[in-house]
Amino acid sequence: MTIQSVPRQTQAYRREAIREAIQEGDWLKLQYAGEDRVVIPQRLEKSAAGNELLRGVLADSSEPRTFRTDRIEKLRRLPDSDQDPTPQIERLARKNEDIARLQQAIAQDVPVTIEYQLPRSDKPVSMTIDPEGFDIQPDRSLALEAITQKGNERNFRLDRICSVDFE
């Protein structure tokens, strides 16, 4: 008699957990290709071949990544209480202090002052913004969604943010 192992987490469970994490702004701890990864989920979509994909950003390096949901071996949501402070944030802070500050400002809903390098400008400009979240741009770069002091919604490319300070 052959015993088949049943996956502990079904595809439907993973899909629902991912949707809830995206909606609630939670991070995900994934086991994928035998490695543990902490991901800031952005969206679910279908590939041209019909596979369900999770688009997100690696929390420790801010690199955009795509994961086939059927290849996720294990998944756990990291709600806000697990995110601040967590070892993932500590690693993130060591690698990129500015992104960690932005994540904290988003969680605490507080404004920050950034030094931002505009294209075709010699010096960065200083501006106060209210960060709302992160987004992957069409060119696959990571951007910060924020509200300016004038109340306008704007995306700021993370590679152009020179510094972040709390108000």
- 3-state secondary structure at position 98: helix
DSSP 123: S
How far is the C-alpha of 83 from the C-alpha of 101, rounded, in Å?
13
* pLDDT of amino acid 96: 66
Domain final residue pick, 27, 54, 82: 82
* pLDDT of amino acid 152: 93
Judgement on whether residues 72 and 110 belong to the same structural domain of the protein: no
* pLDDT of amino acid 79: 66
Residue 1: both structure tokens together = 């008699």
- How many CB atoms lie under 10 A from the CB of residue 72? 22
**CATH code for the domain of 50:** 2.30.30
* pLDDT of amino acid 42: 86
Residue 21: phi and psi, rounded to 5, are -65, -40
Q: Is residue 146 included in any domain, yes or no? A: yes
Per-residue pLDDT of the chain (167 residues; tens, 9 = 90+): 344 433 556 888 888 989 988 887 788 999 999 999 988 888 899 999 999 999 988 877 777 889 999 999 999 988 654 444 444 445 444 446 888 889 899 999 999 999 988 877 788 899 999 999 988 777 667 789 999 999 999 999 887 888 899 87
Q: Is residue 5 included in any domain, yes or no? A: no
What do you get for the CA distance between the two ends of the chain, in Å? Answer: 66
* pLDDT of amino acid 80: 57
Place of tokens 């696959």: 140
- 3-state secondary structure at position 144: strand
Judgement on whether residues 58 and 106 belong to the same structural domain of the protein: no
